[in-house]
């Protein structure tokens, strides 16, 4: 998968050189390119922002450098498939695991990181009609406001890249995780490792029993209890067909 990120703070994306994502890049599974928006400015101060029309606090990112950046990074209409453009904004569609899977199926993503009060609204409109991108998504990390799109890109790229084949060593772990489609909305059960007793707290004995059926049942029960206690909204959305008779007793 190819990923381009346009930002005024390229250094913010440095953590994408670390750990599993860094290794995926070294292995050629992820071709990640970070670009400085200011490379598409033409004045001495490399200006990317201006005051908002209509007044009000803060500054808005000017459309010209964004337009030039997106033109430079995408094929001309008719010149081949363009990337899917992802624009982080608190006013976007909420990012979740289903969207991570959707984005992981794309060959090419292009992220546009806003700063200040955001990007001039014409940039997204123009990109959507330009024929240069396959589609445009405005995506929110959650109902809070960050200073810029870079932290959202770190989160989205990490969530997406770990779904690419070969990035996470044991693909089984992706299936068992919270929010995995195979879990039908259940959170993961609590996990434990050695030692069996720590600061007076014992690991649940069933996990030491060697009885795989009992362990599976215990994990399922704990996942149900945990989801009910922490995320009743997820329980309300559970497909009754995904529940067995013993689930209903929990
Ligand atoms: N004035 C904007 C509003 O109220 O919707 C917020 C602008 S915010 C200070 C600057 C940039 O941070 C946004 O353009 C976006 O790129 C990013 N950002 C902030 N919160 C975000 C969130 N919850 N999800 C994704 N991106 C976010």
Asked if residue 141 has its Cβ within 6 Å of ligand 1, the reply is yes
Strands (E), 141-240: 197-198, 201-202
Cβ atoms within 10 Å of 201's Cβ, excluding its own: 8
Residue 58: closest CA among 153, 180, 145:
145
- Alpha-carbon gap, residue 66 to 80, rounded angstroms: 21
How far is Cα of residue 80 from the mean position of the Cα atoms in its chain?
Answer: 26
**What distances in angstroms separate CA 51 from CA 21, 58, 138, one per listed residue?**
37, 7, 23
The mean pLDDT of the chain is 95
Which of 146, 147, 153 maximizes ligand 1 atoms within 8 Å of its Cβ, making it the mutation to test the pocket? 146
Task: Looking at the CA of residue 61, tell me the nearest atom of ligand 1.
Answer: 14
Chain length of the chain: 250
- Taking residues 205-228, what's their average pLDDT? 96
- Alpha-carbon gap, residue 88 to 93, rounded angstroms: 9
Q: What is the pLDDT of residues 80-124, one digit of tens each?
A: 999 999 999 999 999 999 999 999 999 999 999 999 999 999 999
Residue 178: closest CA among 218, 214, 226:
226
- How much is the pLDDT for 197? 98
Asked if residue 89 has its Cβ within 6 Å of ligand 1, the reply is yes
Sign of CA dihedral 17, 21, 26, 31: negative
- How much is the pLDDT for 215? 97
- How much is the pLDDT for 248? 76
Asked if residue 113 has its Cβ within 6 Å of ligand 1, the reply is yes
- 143 labelled as ligand-binding? yes
Asked if residue 147 has its Cβ within 6 Å of ligand 1, the reply is yes
- 145 labelled as ligand-binding? yes
Asked if residue 94 has its Cβ within 6 Å of ligand 1, the reply is no
SS3 content of the chain, % helix, strand, coil (to 5): 40, 15, 45
Residue 7: closest CA among 29, 43, 39:
39
- How much is the pLDDT for 161? 97
- Higher pLDDT residue, 223 or 173? 223
pLDDT at 24 over 80: yes
Q: What is the pLDDT of residues 180-193, one digit of tens each?
A: 887 788 999 999 99
- 146 labelled as ligand-binding? yes
* 5 contacts: CB under 8 Å, gap ≥ 6: 13, 32, 33, 34, 35, 110, 111, 113, 153, 157
Q: Is the separation of the CB atoms in 111 and 5 below 8 Å? A: yes
Stretch among 13-22, 41-50, 168-177, 207-216 having the lowest mean pLDDT: 168-177
Asked if the peptide bond before residue 11 counts as cis, ω within 30 degrees of 0, the response is: no
Q: What is the pTM of this model?
A: 0.95
Task: Looking at the CA of residue 91, tell me the nearest atom of ligand 1.
Answer: 5
Phi then psi for residue 164, to 5 deg, are: -75, 140
Which of 48, 90, 120, 136 maximizes ligand 1 atoms within 8 Å of its Cβ, making it the mutation to test the pocket? 90
Question: What's the CA-to-centroid distance between 90 and ligand 1, angstroms?
Answer: 5
What is the bridge-based pairing of β-strands 84-94 and 135-140? parallel
């Amino acid at each position: 998968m190819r990923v381009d990120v346009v930002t005024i703070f390229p250094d913010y994306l440095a953590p994408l050189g670390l750990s599993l994502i860094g290794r995926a890049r070294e292995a050629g599974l992820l071709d990640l390119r970070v670009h400085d928006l200011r490379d598409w400015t033409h004045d001495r101060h490399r200006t990317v922002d201006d005051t908002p029309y209509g007044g009000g606090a803060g500054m808005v990112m000017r459309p010209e450098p964004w337009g030039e950046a997106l033109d430079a990074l995408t094929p001309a209409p008719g010149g081949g498939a363009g990337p899917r453009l992802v624009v982080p904004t608190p006013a976007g569609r909420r990012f979740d695991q289903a969207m991570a899977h959707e984005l992981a199926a794309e060959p090419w993503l292009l992220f546009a990181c806003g700063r200040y009060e955001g990007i001039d609204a014409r940039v997204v409109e123009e990109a959507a009609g330009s024929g240069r991108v396959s589609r445009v998504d405005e995506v929110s990390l959650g109902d809070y406001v960050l200073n810029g799109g870079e932290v959202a890109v770190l989160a989205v790229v990490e969530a997406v890249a770990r779904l690419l084949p070969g990035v996470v060593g044991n693909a089984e772990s992706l299936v068992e995780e919270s929010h995995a489609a195979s879990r039908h909305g259940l959170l993961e059960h609590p996990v434990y490792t050695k030692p069996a007793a720590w600061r007076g707290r014992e690991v649940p004995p069933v996990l030491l029993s060697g009885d795989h059926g009992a362990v599976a049942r215990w994990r399922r029960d704990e996942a149900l209890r945990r989801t009910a206690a922490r995320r009743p909204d997820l329980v309300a959305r559970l497909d009754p067909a995904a529940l067995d008779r013993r689930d209903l007793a929990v």
